[in-house]
Amino acid sequence: MSDNEEKVEFEHHVNTEEVHSYMPALIGLAAGVFVAAGVIFMLKGFSLQLGAALVGLFVLLIFIFIVGEIPRWPKITKDSEHMVKAGGTPGKFHEIGDVGFPTALFLLSEIAFFGGAFIAYFYLRSSYAIWPPEGIHHLDVAIPSIQTALLIASSIMIEWSTAGVKKGNNTAVKYGFLGAVILGLGFAVIQMGYEWPHLLTSGELTPQDGLFGASFFLLTGIHGVHVIAGVIANIIVTIKAFKNQFDEENHGFLEAAGTYWHFVHIVWLFLFAFLWQDGLSYFQAAIA
């Protein structure tokens, strides 16, 4: 098949309206609103049934999103293969800067989701003059400080890798993401293997300890799941890097995984500031 025929076949194969879909962002925004409202309704005692229904809608939206997206994954892979045959590169497919259009939409949906969760937390927090409320154990900042250092170091490794791939530095590409994987695993092990078990077994803080306990385990749990997802993505990038599957022109997946990891890092900084340091009280004092 000639190059022109390949290009024509690729043009007919790709449905640009399907690729440029805003549904992930809209679903993420709606899901964030529903879960935030549901948590507020349940924890504030407005209506347990309505709160549960809103959380149920959140789960339903996520399910609809997954069911709708999974059938498209083989097609997207096939589109990339056709694009390569037609002379294109997956790394430049629908780019917005270095991130890419699909990645930008995904991150927008994630921002909407975490935004809803933080709004719910701020609303609950604003009902108390003292936070954590009296009788609730104040959290030690030593462990999360170590976790913060791990994420900062991992983001630096990611940046080293993403900068290296654009310069043909294979060493940076391989060992930057490998280092990020190790640091990310360290973060997850500290949280899931030490901090949570310590808090729960010692009774210092449990999900039953009022709004603060429930908020703490909900927010850190959601973030922990995202960390694990990011580590898995970084492992895939690392494997591909050691197989020399990235170069100056073809590194879209590497860029996407790196951008997602930076997002996870930024969310953690907000969690650290507002859960351990009660950053909202400083903000309220500043504007008072």
The answer to whether residue 12 scores a pLDDT higher than 50 is no
Q: What pLDDT, in 10s, does the model give residues 144-179?
A: 999 999 999 999 999 999 999 888 898 999 999 999
Indicate the helix (H) or strand (E) that contains 57: helix 48-69
Query: Where is pLDDT greater, at 91 or 206?
Result: 206
Q: What pLDDT, in 10s, does the model give residues 203-218?
A: 889 888 888 888 899 8
How far apart CA 206 and CA 7 sit, in angstroms, is 59
Domain ranges within the chain, ordered by starting residue: 1-127, 140-279
Which of 2-11, 44-53, 78-87, 134-143 is predicted least confidently?
Answer: 2-11
Q: What is the pLDDT of residue 92?
A: 45
Domain 140-279, CATH number (from 3.30.70.1050, 1.10.760.10, 1.20.120.80, 1.10.357.10): 1.20.120.80
CB 275 within 8 A of CB 208: no
The answer to whether residue 95 scores a pLDDT higher than 90 is no
CB 150 within 8 A of CB 187: yes
The answer to whether residue 82 scores a pLDDT higher than 60 is no
CB 51 within 8 A of CB 24: no
Rg of the chain taking only CA atoms, in angstroms: 22
What percent of the chain shows pLDDT beyond 70?
A: 63
